[in-house]
C-alpha cells in the first residue's frame, strides 16, 4: 500500500501541476520575422458555402472561390474598379447589347489543360442556369466561343453591371462540361484555373480545413505566382481563439478581423481597408407607430453615429447615407445624416399620436459588434422617449422576420462584394424596401438608369437620388460604414486587402529566411 501511495502521490503531483500551472505568463506574440515553411495558414470564422460558384454567398466562399477557380475579371486592389483576369480585355457594345471577352492564352486549369473560349462559354451558361445565383445573370441571352480565345456574350437588355459581376465568387470559370465529370464528382474534387489547386476539404462545415496547393498552370506562373506552395484555411467559429492562435504563430492571416480583435494586436499586424460595409437600421412603416414619418425621422436624428463608430475605433466611420462608401459610384446624399437631439425631440412632439413608444429591435446576437451597437442604440433612443427592447436571434431568423414583416426594427448589413454601388442597391431594392413598406418606385427607376449607362455622372446622379429618397422615407437608416480588416503576420509580404472581402492570394509571399 505504501509504494502504491507514493506512486499515486507522484502521479497526482504531475496531474495537478499540469492542471494548475496555468497562471499568467503572457509570452511574446510569437510572430517572428521568418517562417520555416512556405505555407500560408489562414484563419476565418465563416465556412465556405460549398465548392460551386452558384452556392457562393458568404465571406468564406468569397475568399476561397477565386483562389481555386480564378475569374475573368478581378477587383483592383484599391477597390476602384475591375482589372484583367483570365480575360485580358473586353469590349462592350451598348447598341448591339454584346460583350466580347478576349482571353489570355497562357491560362491553364490545374489538370494541365489550357483555358479556352469553350470553357468560358460553358461557364457563362452554368452561372445563368444556377439555381441559387442564376437570377443575377438573367441579362445573359447566350455565350458563344467565336474562336479559341474569344467569347461573345449577348444580352437581353443594356447592362453595365456584368463586369463587376464577373469578379464575384459566383463567376467561377469551369472546364467545358466539367472535364467529363458529373457536377457531383466535379465539385467533390474541383478543377480550376485559379492560382491554387484543390487538395482536400476536411470536416466541411463550421470547423472545416481546406487545403490547396500551387497550380503550376496558373497564368501568373511565369512571374513566379503564386509564391506560396500551400494554402491551408482553418475555419473556427471562435474568433477569440483564432486571435490566440495568430498570436501564438499558428496562423499567418486572419480574415474578417473585427475591431475588438484587431485592437488586441500590434498596429503593424493589422490591415484595415477603406470602410465599405454599411450597417443599416430598418424601420417597419407598416407598424402603427412607425407609420408616422415624424417618428422615423426623429429616430434617425437621435442616433449619434459618431458614438456608434467610436466603439469600433479605427474600423468604422459614421454613415452619411444608407449605402456603403468607398465603392465606385457611391455618393453621399445631398444632406448627410446629422446628430441633432433637439431636432429629434421636436419631431417627437410633432407626432400625431403622443402615446409612449416601445419598439423591439431584432439583430444577429452572435455578432459581438452588433450586440454592442444595439445596446448603444437603446441608450440613445431612450433620450427621446423611445423605449427599445432587444430581440437577439440568429441571422436566418432576422431574415425571416424581415420577409414576413414581423418586426419593428432590424439591423442588417448591405455590403458590396464588387466595385459597384448597384450591388448593395439591388439588395435594398429587392428585400429591404418591400419589407419595411417603403415606396420602391424611385429606387427601381434609378437602378435601371444606373445599370444601363456607362456615364459616371449619370450613375452618380442616380445614386444621389436614391440616397436622398431613402432619407426622405427613413424606413432604412444608415448607422455606420465598417472596414473588414485582416490580421497579417510579420513575415507575410505582398498582401493587399481589398474592400470586398477578397484579396489576391497569388501575390502573397512568405519570408522563409531561405
User: Residue from 21, 180, 222, 288 that binds other proteins (CB under 8 A)?
Assistant: 21
The answer to whether 322 touches 371, Cβ cutoff 8 Å, is: no
β-sheet bridge partners, residue 170: none
Residue among 374 and 477 whose Cβ is closer to other proteins: 374
CB of 317 to other proteins, least distance (A): 16
Binding to other proteins (CB under 8 A): which residues in 121-140?
Answer: 131-133, 135
Binding to other proteins (CB under 8 A): which residues in 299-318?
Answer: 307, 310-311
DSSP state of 310: H
Residue among 2 and 95 whose Cβ is closer to other proteins: 2
User: Residue from 80, 264, 274, 453 that binds other proteins (CB under 8 A)?
Assistant: 264
Binding to other proteins (CB under 8 A): which residues in 24-83?
Answer: 24-27, 30, 47-51, 55, 57
Backbone angles phi, psi at 360, to 5 degrees: -95, 140
Q: Give the span between the Cα atoms of 512 and 355, in whole angstroms.
A: 68
Q: Does 93 bind other proteins (CB under 8 A)?
A: no
User: Residue from 199, 293, 360, 431 that binds other proteins (CB under 8 A)?
Assistant: 431
Binding to other proteins (CB under 8 A): which residues in 164-203?
Answer: 202-203
**Grid cell listed for 14:** 504531475
Sign for the pseudo-dihedral over CA of 112, 116, 122, 126: positive
**Grid cell listed for 185:** 464528382
Within 10 angstroms of residue 230's Cβ, the number of other Cβ atoms is 16
Q: Does 339 bind other proteins (CB under 8 A)?
A: no
Q: What's the CA angle centered on 136, arms 146 and 399, to 5 degrees?
A: 165
Instruction: Choose the stretch contacting other proteins; rule: CB under 8 A; options: 20-28, 90-98, 172-180, 448-456.
Output: 20-28
User: Residue from 111, 207, 334, 354 that binds other proteins (CB under 8 A)?
Assistant: 207
Instruction: Choose the stretch contacting other proteins; rule: CB under 8 A; options: 102-110, 286-294, 373-381, 477-485.
Output: 373-381
Instruction: Choose the stretch contacting other proteins; rule: CB under 8 A; options: 105-113, 120-128, 360-368, 463-471.
Output: 360-368
State whether residue 115 is helix, strand or coil: coil
CB of 329 to other proteins, least distance (A): 20
Q: Give the span between the Cα atoms of 312 and 502, in whole angstroms.
A: 21
Residue among 81 and 434 whose Cβ is closer to other proteins: 434
Amino acid at each position: 500500500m505504501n509504494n502504491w501511495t507514493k506512486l499515486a502521490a507522484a502521479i497526482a503531483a504531475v496531474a495537478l501541476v499540469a492542471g494548475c500551472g496555468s497562471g499568467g505568463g503572457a509570452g511574446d506574440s510569437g510572430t517572428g520575422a521568418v517562417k520555416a515553411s512556405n505555407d500560408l495558414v489562414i484563419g476565418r470564422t465563416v465556412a465556405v458555402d460549398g465548392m460551386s460558384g452558384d452556392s457562393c454567398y458568404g465571406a468564406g466562399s468569397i475568399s476561397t472561390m477565386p483562389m481555386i477557380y480564378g475569374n475573368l475579371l478581378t477587383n483592383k486592389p484599391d477597390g476602384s474598379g475591375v482589372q484583367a483576369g483570365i480575360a485580358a480585355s473586353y469590349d462592350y457594345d451598348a447598341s448591339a447589347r454584346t460583350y466580347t471577352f478576349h482571353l489570355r492564352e497562357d491560362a491553364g486549369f490545374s489538370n494541365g489543360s489550357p483555358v479556352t473560349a469553350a470553357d468560358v462559354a460553358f461557364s457563362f451558361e452554368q452561372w445563368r442556369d444556377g439555381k441559387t445565383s442564376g437570377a443575377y445573370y438573367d441579362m445573359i441571352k447566350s455565350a458563344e466561343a467565336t474562336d479559341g480565345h474569344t467569347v461573345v456574350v449577348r444580352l437581353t437588355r443594356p447592362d453595365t453591371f456584368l463586369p463587376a459581376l464577373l469578379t464575384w465568387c459566383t463567376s467561377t470559370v469551369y472546364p467545358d462540361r466539367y472535364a467529363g465529370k458529373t457536377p457531383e464528382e466535379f465539385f467533390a474534387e474541383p478543377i480550376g484555373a485559379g492560382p491554387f489547386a484543390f487538395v482536400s476539404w476536411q470536416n466541411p462545415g463550421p470547423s472545416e480545413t481546406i487545403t490547396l496547393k500551387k497550380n503550376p498552370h496558373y497564368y501568373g506562373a511565369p512571374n513566379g505566382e503564386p509564391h506560396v506552395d500551400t494554402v491551408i484555411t482553418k475555419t473556427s467559429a471562435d474568433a477569440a481563439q483564432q486571435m490566440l492562435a495568430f498570436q501564438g504563430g499558428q496562423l499567418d492571416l486572419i480574415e474578417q478581423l473585427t475591431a475588438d480583435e484587431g485592437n488586441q494586436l500590434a498596429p503593424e499586424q493589422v490591415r484595415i481597408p477603406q470602410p465599405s460595409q454599411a450597417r443599416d437600421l430598418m424601420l417597419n412603416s407598416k407598424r402603427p407607430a412607425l407609420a408616422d414619418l415624424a417618428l422615423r425621422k426623429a429616430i434617425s436624428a437621435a442616433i449619434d453615429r459618431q458614438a456608434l463608430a467610436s466603439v469600433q475605433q479605427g474600423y468604422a466611420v459614421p454613415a452619411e447615407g444608407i449605402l456603403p462608401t468607398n465603392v465606385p459610384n457611391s455618393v453621399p446624399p445631398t444632406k448627410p445624416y446629422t446628430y441633432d437631439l433637439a431636432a429629434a425631440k421636436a419631431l417627437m412632439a410633432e407626432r400625431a399620436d403622443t402615446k409612449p413608444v416601445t419598439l423591439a429591435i431584432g439583430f444577429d446576437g452572435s455578432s459581438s459588434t452588433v450586440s454592442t451597437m444595439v445596446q448603444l442604440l437603446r441608450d440613445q433612443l431612450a433620450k427621446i422617449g423611445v423605449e427599445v427592447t432587444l430581440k437577439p436571434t440568429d441571422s436566418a431568423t432576422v431574415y425571416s422576420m424581415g420577409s414576413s414583416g414581423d418586426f419593428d426594427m432590424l439591423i442588417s448589413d448591405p455590403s458590396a462584394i464588387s466595385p459597384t454601388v448597384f450591388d448593395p442597391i439591388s439588395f435594398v431594392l429587392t428585400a429591404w424596401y418591400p419589407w419595411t413598406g417603403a415606396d420602391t418606385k424611385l429606387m427601381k427607376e434609378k437602378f435601371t438608369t444606373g445599370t444601363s449607362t456607362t456615364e459616371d455622372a449619370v450613375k452618380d446622379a442616380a445614386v444621389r437620388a436614391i440616397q436622398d429618397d431613402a432619407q426622405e422615407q427613413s424606413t432604412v437608416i444608415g448607422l455606420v460604414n465598417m472596414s473588414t480588416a485582416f490580421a497579417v503576420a510579420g513575415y507575410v509580404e505582398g498582401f493587399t486587402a481589398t474592400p470586398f472581402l477578397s484579396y489576391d492570394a497569388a501575390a502573397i509571399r512568405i519570408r522563409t529566411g531561405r
